[in-house]
Amino acid sequence: MLIKNVKVYTEDWRFEEGEIVIRDGIFERVNFKTDKEEAEGNGENVPDVAEDVIVDGEGCFAIPGLIDLHFHGCMGDDFCDGTKEAIERIAAYEASIGVTAIAPATMTLPVEELVDILKVAAEYKKEATKGADLIGINMEGPFISPAKKGAQDERNIIPCDAEVCRRFLDASEGLVKFVGIAPEESEKSIEFIEQMKDKVNISLAHTNADYDTAKAAFDAGANHAVHLYNAMPAFTHRAPGVVGAVADCEHVMAEIICDGVHIHPAAVRATFRMMGEERMILISDSMRATGMPDGQYTLGGLDVNVVGNRATLVSDGALAGSATNLMDCMRTAVKKMGIPFETAVACATMNPAKSLGEYENYGSITEGKKANVVLLDDELNLKMVIKDGKTL
């Protein structure tokens, strides 16, 4: 396949006019217009490209397929439904809107139920042939804080436990990439981090930790923060909390939900300046109502009301994930929050790929990587999704 007449997103966060050559589902090369003009000017031979399929991008932006490393479901299905059919439908929807790789999140459920869910996901990955690639799992519970449980079921919360964590890793056959903890909930949290940090990324999730506790966890080897600002203490000038600890630990990557509901645009802009755009990861945190009509749904066994893109618990009105997919979150970040388009693309592609340890195969339009590319017009409307070198 040859995709011509496009503005190609590069690894140095710029767009350059060029064309993309795909062979056998892999990016074979990218020919930039400036390089071709220079070669022609020097009298060098620039070979014509003869391909089976030629796509005229009509000046569109060509960006890598997006990667959502924290979401729960869409189109009526939830990852924790624990069936291959649910994962398959989720993967199909995500690919259709330009999210070509996924790492769904679990909820705080009984340990045995979580083990079964992870086993199903591992089996699905062996058999999957279409839809977004399942490249990880983000465990949001059960090692969290009752004080910041959000839409998680408090009855299933337990302290962090290395043996239980190993069961999760074994059940998933390596798919679990993040395990969230609330470090203030166990005297053994630092020991847990030190034991598990070389086996899985440890994140701070649904935690009421103060600055010192969070900083100690990061110093011990935790390297990820789940949906910054949400389900954690507020960031203030005398009590900077988890957010302040993330700011002071340059090895920590931070998720952020830019759906226009969870965080004020001014706070989003300030966070990018404070943390540095290289550490920010756009996520959707979407639940099963995403892509569905308004109504009542469930998340982790709890009832949720959805009106527009706002999802709240029926019980107490707390935010319960989002009803916005990652592509729309990226558009919102650019169009309504003032985040540069080039930055937003990196935070939805390159940064999550690196955080997942999958940058060798995903996250950029680079020779040798999987040929997942999305074409957007000047208004960021979706024009085409190409997955493994095939048009969806």
The closest alpha carbon to 75, from 101, 95, 105, belongs to: 95
Tokens of 4: 């011509």
What gap in Å lies between CA 44 and CA 248, rounded to an integer? 51
- Domain boundaries 66-356, CATH class: alpha beta
% of the chain residues with pLDDT over 70: 96
Q: Which residue type, as a one-letter code, is found at position 23? A: R
User: Which tens digits make up the pLDDT trace of 130-171?
Assistant: 999 999 999 999 999 999 999 899 999 999 999 999 999 999
Domain 2-63+368-391 belongs to what topology?
Urease, subunit C; domain 1 (2.30.40)
Q: Is 367 exposed, middle or buried (0-12, 13-18, 19+ CB in 10 A)?
A: exposed
Catalytic residues: 285
Helix, strand, or coil (residue 84): helix
Q: Decide if 217 contacts 189 (C-beta within 8 A).
A: yes
Q: Is the pTM of this model over 0.85?
A: yes
Q: What is the pLDDT of residues 194-240, one digit of tens each?
A: 999 999 999 999 999 999 999 999 999 999 999 999 999 999 999 99
Domain boundaries, the chain: 2-63+368-391, 66-356
